[in-house]
Amino acid sequence: MDPMTKMWVSLIGIGLMAIAAVMITFARLKTKGIIKFTLSFVSFILLVFGFLCGLIAII
């Protein structure tokens, strides 16, 4: 993988992790019930994809 592609993959990973952090903060502070669970689950999935993007960029 060329360096520019690695840069974009790592930036996407950082962005996904930032979105996940904001989403989980919002879910814990402002929502209740099934919406809280759904937002938490979606943010966990985004965090995992962000981690995988970061791992791919390192390799």
Report pLDDT digits (tens) over 4-54.
Answer: 999 999 999 999 999 999 999 999 999 999 999 999 999 999 999 999 999
Task: Count CA within 13 A, CB hemisphere, residue 5.
Answer: 4
Q: Cα 58 vs. chain centroid, distance in angstroms?
A: 17
Q: What global pTM score does this model have?
A: 0.89
Torsion of CA 31, 37, 41, 47, to 10 degrees: 40
Contact yes or no for 40/27 (Cβ under 8 A): yes
In the predicted model, is pLDDT for residue 1 greater than 90? no
Neighbours of 15 (CB within 10 A): 13
Residue 22: predicted pLDDT: 97
